[in-house]
Amino acid sequence: MKIQSLETFHLRPRWMFLKITTDEGISGWGEPVLEGRAQTVETALREMAPLLIGQDPLRIEHLWQTLYRSTAYRGGPILTSALSGVEMALWDIKGKACGQPVYQLLGGKCRDRVRMYGHLKPTGHPGDFPIEAMLEITRGRLAEGFTVMKYSIIPPIRPIDSPAMVEAAVERFAAVRECIGKKVDLAIDFHGRVSPAMSRRLLAALEPYYPLFVEEPVLPENVDALAAVARGTSIPIAAGERLFTRWGYRELIEKQAVSVVQPDLCHCGGILEARKIAALAENYYMAYAPHNPLGPISLAACLQLDACAPNLLAQEHPGMPGGQDLGVGILTKPFVIEKDGCIRIPDGPGLGIEVDESRLEELAFPGAWDTPRLFFEDGSIADW
């Protein structure tokens, strides 16, 4: 079997799919997208294509090493996002060729169902919005059966901010906690947009409300700063969506700066690379909760690894209205979140999905989507 072609598809709202086709008619799908940089990743895929065309798609590790190591400049969000999508598609091909789900090729299932968590954010609100709007979504998530939820802290936050800001943040979390009770887990994401000084104050104020974890209280690029924040709180710290490959995770894990690792399978290097990261974290008794704000192919890849990662905590998905992120209108058999807030592990070969290519054209868009930017009142950028 030889790789014959690579084809990309840009889909609303901001996704990009990759289809790799072989000379034996078996195709595999991946999701090689980077938020706000899909067209740049697409260029990287075109540059990788000559190294893939004509090669045996079943030699996944060899092709991964070739794409990653055969250039002087390795890693980074663009190259590893392109590589991740390729790797996903190769696993899809291999599973289909063997007639087995990917999880069987990675050692078999540890579980039959995966606990899911969705976001508590109204569509089209990049900034502040009323607490009641969040509570309305929260009640809907409860009705859907979710036992885990997450929302993002409302930015921007100054490097050293006022007591009113802290009180407002706690008021929102407390309101959601009161709504869901003590048997449902609630996480909060700081998006790395908070200074270490303010993270300490916010974590101390949130501690009585028992967050499941706080995601990216500070950026993970300074692991010592993240570790210092983690040591000052009993709240589990999570991070990793902006780290790439096992080498990018090494210091984070060795310094025990987190309790939960969050590789994004569309960015970190793919399915097997995320498996290696989860195994490294397992040595330090850390949980694994893959980051996934993207589409149904990303979710399909996550579920294959979730099935066989013993330290899985829960699986993120955006929770889009209409279920497009679950594959509604895209997959011939969309994923279904059952009344206990879980998705059953698919048992089909490869990634366990079939893309309805006849629907892709109606969802197509040029691919230009920019990440929303945040500014302080004085006009300066609010991201660290």
- Name all domains of the chain by residue range, CATH numbers in brackets: 3-101 (3.30.390.10), 104-348 (3.20.20.120)
pLDDT at position 373 is 82
Catalytic residue among 125, 191, 267, 317: 191
Told to judge if 125 belongs to the known catalytic residues of this protein, a careful annotator would answer no
- List the structure tokens of 325: 């992120």
Query: To 5 degrees, how large is the angle CA 149–CA 303–CA 24?
Result: 150
Mean pLDDT of the chain: 94
Q: Helix, strand or coil for residue 113?
A: strand
Q: What is the DSSP string of 95-112?
A: HHHHTSBHHHHTT--S-S
Catalytic residue among 10, 119, 291, 317: 291
pTM score: 0.95
pLDDT at position 127 is 63
- Strand-strand pairing, 15-22 and 3-11: antiparallel
Told to judge if 291 belongs to the known catalytic residues of this protein, a careful annotator would answer yes
Query: To 5 degrees, how large is the angle CA 384–CA 262–CA 314?
Result: 130
Burial tier of 100 (Cβ tally within 10 Å: 0-12, 13-18, 19+):
middle
Q: How confident is the model at residue 335 (pLDDT cuts 50, 70, 90)?
A: very high
pLDDT at position 293 is 92
Mean pLDDT in residue range 194-222: 96
Q: CA–CA distance from 355 to each of 50, 63, 337 (Å)?
A: 25, 24, 19
- Strand-strand pairing, 113-119 and 342-344: antiparallel
**pLDDT(100) > 70:** yes
